[in-house]
Amino acid sequence: MKFADIENKSVTELIKQKNELSAKLFEMKMKNSLGQLATPHQVRNVRRDIARINTAIVRKAAR
């Protein structure tokens, strides 16, 4: 996910997407701990996407 894609969304959309990604991250961490996750590097990508969304939310709130 690119920051330019995130930047064009509203705050409510960003919060909704952040909640979805947080749930996905939780599931991925559980699967990874059980050894069921095929590609563990996806956890890092989801964490980074959540961080990008948090950054966009803070930037929009500062305006």
**Would you state the pLDDT for residue 55?**
96
Quote the pTM value: 0.92
Domain boundaries, given as residue ranges, for the chain: 3-62
Return d(Cα 60, Cα 3) in angstroms, integer: 13
**Would you state the pLDDT for residue 1?**
84
Return d(Cα 57, Cα 6) in angstroms, integer: 9
Q: How many residues does the chain have?
A: 63
**Would you state the pLDDT for residue 63?**
80
Digit-coded pLDDT (tens) for 8-59:
999 999 999 999 999 999 999 999 999 999 999 999 999 999 999 999 999 9
Please say whether the structural domain 3-62 has been given the CATH code 1.20.120.
no
**Would you state the pLDDT for residue 27?**
97
